[in-house]
Amino acid sequence: MQFHTFSSPHVHNGNSVPAVMRDVLLAVSPGAALMVYFFGWGVFFNLLISSVTAVAAEALVVKLRGREVGPVLADHSALVTAVLLALALPPLVPWWVPFLGALFAIVLAKHLYGGLGYNPFNPAMVGFVMLLIAFPKQMTLWTPPAGLDQQRLDFTETAACIFTHRLPEGLDYDAVTLATPLDKVKTDLGTGRTLREILTAPTFGTLAGVGWEWANLAYLLGGLWLIHRRRIAWQIPAGMLGSLFLVSLVFYGYDSDNYASPLFHLLSGAAMLGAFFIATDPVTAATTPRGRLWYGAGIGLIVYVIRTWGGYPDGVAFGVLLMNMAAPTLDHYTQPRVYGARR
Amino acid sequence: MTTTVDYKRIAIDGFWDNNPALVQLLGMCPMLAVTSTAVNGLGLGLATTLTLVLSNGLVSLIRNIVRPEVRIPTFVLIIASVVTVIELLMNAYVHELYTILGIFVPLIVTNCSIIGRAEAFASKHALLPSLVDGLTMGLGFTAVLFTLGMLREFVGQGTVFSQFHLLFGEAVRGWSTTVLTHYEGFLVAVLPPGAFFGLGLLIALKNLVDARRARRAHRRAARAGAPAAA
């Protein structure tokens, strides 16, 4: 009689790449649905174009690299990249903006570095930053959220705008777009107005910007569900939202006329989407528990700095990319103590 | 040295096998900074080529006089004098291009590929091989600068050969063609990140060609060797 002894690990937590990616897609969908509701069909078209491009590009590159296409596509990672990129894009961008962004993200940022697991930078954010730098004009084409729009474009009108650059008779881009709350706060503060005056504008709702507050809360819920399912580490969102909260609280307490409230910062722009879905990318984030806290805290700080003093209205993409660069160093200095070893 | 000099080898090294821009990765700063258009790349490339030829020649002439302990400062002085001459020449004859290239013309002094060739080649070889080495290395560098400039100009603003009259006079003003009409531009290509992406892709392309050639040579050798083995 022979007894086999197996080496550790003895218990598997059930995480696999396809399962994690499926859950991420599921968790992001309420927020995505709210974005479509508030900002119109443009969001839907962005999701569609970006996803089709990303999956096609992934299949093409994997084929060129002489690997099997099926298993690579089955892990859904290209789809997650595409969805995150699309949710960051303004709804009325021409069709080639999500197309180029997804192509750039998958081919240059992901596969030229070796594919899933080897890319040092978050592909979706590389694609987004490339678009932001290359097409600054198109990247401001945000529609007004539902409730604030006098001229809402229906499905066919949105399609015409995105694919042929044509708007309905008598309308121009100024009539169908509106500055985002973060953008408005930034430009209005620049003209010397105080926050109390600015926040009376119709763009702002009860918590933060109209529409944005609900989308961010939906992302928060989805993210909490992912943490509950242990698909993402809690340290990264906690670090990011915590540092964003603390820094904005300090400045808000110091001068509430010129610095927006912590609540506004947490529920504006890509704060929640970034904290739970973008920064938690397992490939490009830090991997040690303490390292993840620092990694998230760094992103939160950079987001606040860029939003308050920088040239762009939001800074999640830049924060994530900059901290991607720091992740290996953070991992090096935050190695956990091996059980039984001395400090 | 009594061995015969293999000029073909020197030329192949300069253009391809040991290309300063694609293989040695020297002189990155001007290469990334000025290649936003083809004419800028070509102008700086030609200026660098002239510097390389003259400095290689001078270094080769004095190679047996200067003591090894002080050779590097001497090379730097020679290169700096040559660059000063070229800077004045460019200011006189291609003034507009000179103002566009700005600080990068005097900065040719600090281009490592020049002192690299002085130290690695000219200080060890006779005058003629040194001149040939300077010329081919310079032209190899220019070719990459020009290609990268073409790529970035085309992708970035949809034109080819724009502003070529800055270098070749009014006769070629008509060369400037807008290939992509109604093109809104792809700003990243013109900005510094585009230079890094463009150069990375060019290096990848060169490595791809090399790998293909090596594979083909291998197969040919195998085919030639097979009957003999059988």
Nearest to A133 among B184, B191, B204 (CB): B191
Q: Check residue A24 and give its pLDDT.
A: 92
Q: How far apart are CA A222 and CA A272, in angstroms?
A: 10
Domain ranges of chain B: 8-222
Chain B nearest CA to A322, separation (Å) = 15
Q: How far apart are CA A179 and CA B130, in angstroms?
A: 62
Shortest CA distance from B189: residue in chain A: A134
Residue A85, pLDDT > 90, answer: yes
Q: Check residue A20 and give its pLDDT.
A: 87
Among B133, B140, B37, B48, which Cα is nearest to B90's?
B48
> What is the pLDDT averaged over residues A224-228?
94
- DSSP string over A118-143: T-SS-HHHHHHHHHHHH-TTGGG-PP
Q: Report how far apart, in Å, the C-alpha atoms of A93 and of each of A86, A274, A276, B127 are.
A: 11, 21, 25, 61
Residues A151-200: pLDDT tens digits?
778 888 888 888 888 888 777 787 788 888 888 888 888 888 888 888 88
**ipTM of the complex model:** 0.73
Q: How far apart are CA B21 and CA B8, in angstroms?
A: 20
| Stated pTM of the model | 0.84
* Of residues A280 and B161, more confidently modeled: A280
Angle between helix axes A316-333 and A123-134 (nearest 10 degrees) is 140
> What is the pLDDT averaged over residues A305-312?
91
Q: Check residue A11 and give its pLDDT.
A: 76
pLDDT level of residue B79 (50, 70, 90 thresholds): very high
Residue B179, pLDDT > 50, answer: yes
Residues on chain A touching B184 (C-beta within 8 angstroms): 135, 137
Q: Check residue B226 and give its pLDDT.
A: 62
Do A135 and A129 form a contact (C-beta atoms < 8 A)? no
> What is the pLDDT averaged over residues A88-105?
93
| Residue contact B188–A130, C-beta within 8 A | yes
Q: Check residue B228 and give its pLDDT.
A: 52
Q: Check residue A153 and give its pLDDT.
A: 81
| Residue contact B187–A108, C-beta within 8 A | no
Sign of CA dihedral B6, B10, B11, B12: positive
Residue A8, pLDDT > 80, answer: no
Residues A309-338: pLDDT tens digits?
988 888 999 999 999 999 999 999 998 888
Q: Check residue A152 and give its pLDDT.
A: 78
Q: How far apart are CA A28 and CA A276, in angstroms?
A: 9
**Which helix (DSSP H) or strand (DSSP E) does residue B177 occupy?**
strand B177-178
Residues B109-142: pLDDT tens digits?
888 888 888 888 888 889 999 999 999 999 999 9
Mean of all residue pLDDT scores within chain A: 89
Residue A226, pLDDT > 90, answer: yes
Residue listed under structure tokens 């598997």:
A12
What is the count of residue pairs from A and B with beta carbons less than 8 Å apart?
16
Looking at the complex, does the CB of residue A64 fall below 8 Å from at least one CB of chain B?
Answer: no
Structure tokens at A12: 């598997």
Residue A36, pLDDT > 50, answer: yes
Residue B230, pLDDT > 60, answer: no
Residue B2, pLDDT > 50, answer: no
> What is the pLDDT averaged over residues A53-67?
92
Q: Check residue A168 and give its pLDDT.
A: 80
Q: Which domains are delineated in chain A?
A: 17-333 (1.10.3430)
Most trustworthy range by pLDDT among A145-149, A158-162, B1-5:
A158-162
| Residue contact B188–A108, C-beta within 8 A | no
> What is the pLDDT averaged over residues B74-94?
92
pLDDT level of residue A53 (50, 70, 90 thresholds): very high
Write down the H helix ranges in B22-94. 28-34, 38-62, 71-93
| Residue contact A133–B184, C-beta within 8 A | no
Chain centre distance of CA A280: 10
Determine phi and psi for B178, rounding to 5 degrees. -90, 110
Structure tokens at B54: 């003259």
Residues A261-292: pLDDT tens digits?
899 999 998 999 999 999 999 899 999 999 99
Residue B229, pLDDT > 60, answer: no
- CA quadruple A16, A126, A326, A281: dihedral, nearest 10: -20
Chain B nearest CA to A329, separation (Å) = 24
Q: How far apart are CA B216 and CA A27, in angstroms?
A: 51
Residue B53, pLDDT > 90, answer: yes
Determine phi and psi for A314, rounding to 5 degrees. -125, 155
Shortest CA distance from A132: residue in chain B: B188
Q: How far apart are CA A220 and CA B1, in angstroms?
A: 76
Looking at the complex, does the CB of residue B193 fall below 8 Å from at least one CB of chain A?
Answer: yes
